[in-house]
Amino acid sequence: MNREVFAAVADALERGEPAALVTIVSTTGSTPQRVGAKMLVFGDGRIVGTIGGGCYENDAFGKAREAIASRTPQVVHYELSDDFAQETGLICGGQMDVYIEPIEPSPELYIIGGGHVGFHLARVAHEVGFRVHVIDDREKFANAERFPTAAEVIVDDIPSWIARVSLPAHAYAVIVTRGHTNDLEALRALAPRELRYLGLIGSRAKVARIYDALVADRIPAVALKRVHAPIGLDIGAVTPQEIAVSILAELIAVKHGKGHPTSMKWTPTSLKSEV
């Protein structure tokens, strides 16, 4: 049975699908399963494997789904008492502890723009565990020689590519194209989507112009307020290398559940009056 679970874990990691692994780590007395029994729970409710059935498995199932959302592991203790036996029909009388571990695939980072900032960001992001995808409309900038560690390098018209693809909800997307038009159209397409992170490069003046245009085109203000713009932590970065580091720092902060420091937040005028 555990082979099936291990295969499902490997498949989830390959597909980039979050899940949680539930493992019996200790038992005392009579229990329906032995130490080492495993169950894999997916966010949509699918289950592979079992830790013995009954209401305690159902409880562990619920806690596993919570762990997927919170990305926090935990140990849960169950006492298989007479009340438990009456409720489930399982006469065991023992105790057991289960360890619930979120299984997080490598975070997917989509770098939209293969110029100088994208080049340096791809390198450092790969080194800290991001699975990097690069998209640019210039083959000179988007190629395997330039991005040897990228999982995927795409040469295509940027707005057209975004319109065709469905990025996973746990994806990180960074808009660092070479021009205002591509930045505008990329943000227009991505802002309404549910993503783990969406950032836009540019000065405050540039970001304000883009936001003004999108608000005028009825892009929901609530969607634009989720965007990290100007992108990156405000560390005074100037060079492409420094800007890449500031972006990566923000990505890592979001990955670990750390909000953007209030002192570094900025809201364009066009959004301040929007609900």
- Domain residues of the chain, as ranges? 2-103, 108-272
According to the model, what pLDDT value does residue 168 have?
A: 84
Categorise residue 186: left if φ over 0, alpha if ψ from -120 to 50, beta otherwise.
alpha
According to the model, what pLDDT value does residue 263 have?
A: 38
According to the model, what pLDDT value does residue 275 have?
A: 43
- For the chain, 275 residues long, the average pLDDT of each consecutive 10-residue run is 89 86 90 89 92 85 92 90 52 81 91 97 96 96 96 94 89 93 91 92 90 88 89 93 96 82 56 58
Half-sphere exposure of 204 (CA within 13 A, CB side): 8
- Cβ neighbours of 80 (radius 10 Å): 24
Distance (Å, whole) CA 249 – CA 94: 47
Q: What is the CATH number of domain 108-272?
A: 3.40.50.720
Which tokens belong to 83? 């009340």
According to the model, what pLDDT value does residue 129 have?
A: 92
Contacts of 67 (CB under 8 A, 6+ apart): 20, 73, 74, 100, 101, 102
